[in-house]
Amino acid sequence: MNYISTRGNAKKLNFEGVLLKGLADDGGLYIPESTPVMSADEINSLSKKTYQEIAFHIIKKFTGETFPDSVLNEMIFESYKNFTSKSIAPLVEYEKDKYIMELFHGPTLAFKDIAMQLISRMLNFILTKRNIDSTIICATSGDTGGAAVDAFSSNNRVKLFVLLPDGRVSDVQRRMMTTVKSKNIKILSIDGNFDDCQNIVKNLFNDHDFSKNVNLSGVNSINWARIMVQCVYYFTAFSFIEDKDIPINFIVPTGNFGDIYAGYLAKSMGLPISKLIIATNINDILKRCIDTGIYEISDVIPSNSPSMDIQISSNFERLLFDLEGKDPLKVRKCMTLLSDNGKFKLSKNAHSQLKEMFDADALDIAETLKTIKHVYLKYNIIIDPHTAVGFGVSLKKPNLPVVTLSTAHPAKFPETVFEAIGKYPALPTKHKNLHSLSENIQCMPNNAQKIKDYIVSQ
């Protein structure tokens, strides 16, 4: 399978190339040249398989000949062997036809582990085969960084630099990154917000000399491998649900549009998804875009679901490519307008397609707290604030059969949960020492050149 850039001016790559590269040389994002489509029979046949078997079945379609089957199988097995739920992404039916899909049973308690564990192993295989080392740069709104630190801490072919927005991640999130003592990992606290961190990452990739020199790779959801691995759990959710005749809707707490784009990918492959519902906090650029057809950046406002405090939803560019008739010229035009004027307008046709497939709603800080309390009192389930944003959206659609993605464990956000229910969620045993370990963190200005200099010095 070949991959092309959404902006049409980068060379085609196979999966191995895309995994190593992250962002395309023309600033675009890689997508498959054509999407593999599955028949209803093929999809239904997955029902009898385990999570790992389904993962193999789906991922193989995208990786082609990059990994021998036995290697891919082994990597998938190893990636998920330390998850604390045997089904990896269990589905909890809290009311008839209403489910929560728990994606937080990995080592750092958020859904980011599901892709990161596998990507680290895939990268290690390729780097070892080529006998080269790689520098990985990763912007985090809180959870990607922790997942990357865990996944890469014993990967000796990789040097990992994590950029986090100073003061905008929770203590537990930060400590999961800063308390891991591995020589190949540096945590940089950037004086800015997540969008600033992500812009630095894009800037580093777009400096082709620098990027070549340090052999730069990226593990943000701009890397196709993330999307590919995450689309698996949409299939496993469907395989768990017994009544296949009820069209399912997924509610996805959304920031960078990676997780929900993975749902769009599953739908494009034939999974019978009715609507993909975007749930955002007060940083509601995607909701505004669905309502008005105008994608317009405003200031990032800190909220109590910090992993979604994002205005530039990078993966939206992948959807835009499809909505605008797979025309890279139109994508380039939109992206130029976005960087020049901070906004662009979808064509009429693109906007109506968007509204047909997606829906969106937003929760503010108080509604998020109220939802955590409601779910605790009514179902005796403690959810994290990001999941609460999704759950709050489901409450606004009482008659819809839905799967709400639970993207993080509540123990990652103890203060917010306490504020909502007057009770702290317990940290799983593995993390009991988190608050007594010393931290390693470097404060850096919001300046791409300074980050480049630092990376070179290391």
Nearest CA-CA partner of 143 in 186, 115, 121, 176: 176
What span, in angstroms and rounded, lies between the C-alpha atoms of 55 and 85? Answer: 16
Q: What would the two tokens of residue 125 be?
A: 């295989």
What span, in angstroms and rounded, lies between the C-alpha atoms of 25 and 35? Answer: 22
Collect all residues with Cβ–Cβ distance below 8 Å to 237 and sequence separation of at least 6: 89, 91, 99, 101, 248, 250, 403
- Interface residue with ligand PLP among 43, 110, 169, 271 (CB under 6 A) is 110
Of 115 and 185, which has the nearer Cβ to ligand PLP?
Answer: 115
Of 15 and 257, which has the nearer Cβ to ligand PLP?
Answer: 257
Stretch that binds ligand PLP, among 14-22, 253-261, 342-350, 419-427 (CB under 6 A): 253-261
Of 54 and 276, which has the nearer Cβ to ligand PLP?
Answer: 276
Work out whether the CA dihedral 253, 254, 260, 262 comes out positive or negative.
negative
121 binds ligand PLP (CB under 6 A): no
- Min separation Cβ 362 and ligand PLP, Å: 14
- Min separation Cβ 197 and ligand PLP, Å: 13
Of 180 and 389, which has the nearer Cβ to ligand PLP?
Answer: 389
Collect all residues with Cβ–Cβ distance below 8 Å to 345 and sequence separation of at least 6: 293, 294, 295
224 binds ligand PLP (CB under 6 A): no
222 binds ligand PLP (CB under 6 A): no
Q: What would the two tokens of residue 445 be?
A: 């200005």
What span, in angstroms and rounded, lies between the C-alpha atoms of 451 and 444? Answer: 8
- Interface residue with ligand PLP among 7, 21, 105, 112 (CB under 6 A) is 112
What is the Cα Rg of the chain in Å?
20
259 binds ligand PLP (CB under 6 A): yes
Q: Is 112 a catalytic residue?
A: yes
407 binds ligand PLP (CB under 6 A): yes
Of 136 and 231, which has the nearer Cβ to ligand PLP?
Answer: 231
257 binds ligand PLP (CB under 6 A): yes
Stretch that binds ligand PLP, among 126-134, 150-158, 254-262, 361-369 (CB under 6 A): 254-262
SS3 of residue 80 by DSSP: helix
Neighbour tally for 41: CB within 10 Å: 7
Side chain identity at residue 85, one-letter code: S
Could you tell me how many residues of this chain bind ligand PLP (CB under 6 A)?
A: 18
258 binds ligand PLP (CB under 6 A): yes
| Binding track over 371-390 against ligand PLP, x by CB under 6 A | ---------------x----
Work out whether the CA dihedral 386, 228, 233, 44 comes out positive or negative.
positive
SS3 of residue 110 by DSSP: strand
- Interface residue with ligand PLP among 236, 281, 307, 394 (CB under 6 A) is 307
198 binds ligand PLP (CB under 6 A): no
DSSP 8-state assignment for residue 402: E
Neighbour tally for 340: CB within 10 Å: 9
409 binds ligand PLP (CB under 6 A): no
CB 295 within 8 A of CB 338: yes
Binding to ligand PLP in span 128-157, by CB under 6 A: 141-143
Of 126 and 273, which has the nearer Cβ to ligand PLP?
Answer: 273
Of 83 and 210, which has the nearer Cβ to ligand PLP?
Answer: 83
Nearest CA-CA partner of 383 in 371, 393, 394, 395: 371
- Min separation Cβ 226 and ligand PLP, Å: 8
Write down the catalytic residue from 21, 112, 186, 202.
112
Listing DSSP states for 213-261 in one string gives HTTEEE-STTSHHHHHHHTHHHHHHHHH-S-TTSPEEEEEE-SSSHHHH
Binding to ligand PLP in span 309-338, by CB under 6 A: none
Any idea which residues carry the catalytic annotation?
112
Binding site residues, ligand PLP, CB under 6 A: 110, 112, 141-143, 221, 253-259, 307-308, 386, 407-408
